[in-house]
Structure 1
Amino acid sequence: MSDIRLEALRAQGAHLIDPIRFRYLEALARRTQSQPAAVQRVLRPRLDSAIADYVCRVDQSVSLPAVTARSAPRPSALIELNRYLHERSRDEPQDALPGDAPRASEMKSVRRFSEVWSRIAAEQQVSQAVARGPENAGPLNSHRLMLRALHLMKGLSPDYLQRFLSQMDTLLWLEQANRKTAAPEGKSGKRATKKG
C-alpha cells in the first residue's frame, strides 16, 4: 500500500513532472511500510522530507495541464531518425557522392522511381544474402550474425539499410580497385622474397 500523499499527487497528475523521482518516492514508501518499526523510524523522516521536496517542486513548476500535454510519450530515437531522413530526402535530391552536383533538371517522377528502385534493390540484396547464408552455422558465427543484423535493419529502417548498403558497395568497389593496383606489386615482391 502506497502513501496517501503520493496517491493524491498521482490523482492530480503531478507524477508526470518528474516520473523517475516519483517512482523513487513510491518505492521508498512501500519499503518503509514493509520494514520493522526501528527501521521505519529512520525511513519515515526521509520519506516525509522527500515528499515535501517533491510538493515544492510541483508548486514551482508549470501548471499541471501543460505538463500533462507536454509529457506525452516521445517517439523512439529510431522513429525520429527515420522522420528526419524522410524529410531530408523529400527536401533534397537523392543523396549523391560528394563530388556530384544535384541535377536541377531531374524530374520528380524519375527521382521517385530511382528511390523506389534502389530501395527494392537493397531489399533484394538482403533477401538473397540471407538465402545464401550458412544453414548450419553456430549462433555466434560472424557471417550469420551479420546477415541477421541486415535482416533486422531491413525491418526497422529500410532507408538506413539502403544508405548502409550504398556505403558498403562503395567500400567494396574501393577495396577491389585497390587490390587490382596492388596485385602486380605484390606478385613481384613475393618472387623477390622467394629467390632471396
Structure 2
Amino acid sequence: MNDVSDSVTRAHAMLDAWREHGDARANPMQLRLIEALARRASQHHGEARRVLDARLSNLLDAQAMRDDARDDAAQAPMQSPLASLLDEMNQRAATHADPAELLDALRSIWSTVSAEKRLRESQAQVPKNAGPLNSNSLVHRSLSLMREVSPEYLQHFLGFIDALSWMEALTLASGAPAKEAPRATTKKSARKAR
C-alpha cells in the first residue's frame, strides 16, 4: 500500500509545484485529469486502487518527460519552423550551384514517380482473365513495353496524355459542344443501280 500512497503523494507534490510556479508550460487539461485521477485513487482500495495508481503514475511520468523536453528545448536557441525550413533550403541550395539544375532534377523525379504510378494504375485496371485483345490489357502491355525500351519516352508520352486529358476536361467544363467526327459518305447511286 506504500506504492499506492506514493503515486497520490507524488501527484499532489507535482501539482502543487506546478501551481506554485504558475507553470504555463503544463497542459491545463492534463493537470485536471491528474488531479481528478488522484482524487479518485484516494477514494478506492484494493485492485481498483492499484489500477488507478498505475494510470496516475503513467500520467505523471509522461508529464515529467514533457517538462524535461520543454526544459531542454528552452535551453536551446529558439528558431521558428519557417526559419529552420529556410536554413535547410539555403543549405541545400548551397550544394547545388544552379537552381535550374535542381528544378530539372525535381521534374525528372516527379516524371518518374508519375509514370510508375500510371503504370500501376493501368495494371490495376486489367481484369484477371483478360483476353489478348482486351483494351486494358493492351494499354498496360504497351506502357510496360515503353518503360522497358525507353523510360524517357514513356514519361514524355504520359505527359502528352495528361495534357490532352487536361484540355478535354477544360473543354467540357467550358460547356463548348463537342465536334462530331465527319462520317464516311457512301455513294447512294451505286445502291440505286442495283
- TM normalised by structure 1 equals 0.37
| Structure ID, larger Rg | 2
Q: Which has the higher contact order (CA 8 A, sep 6+)?
A: 1
TM-score by length of 2: 0.38
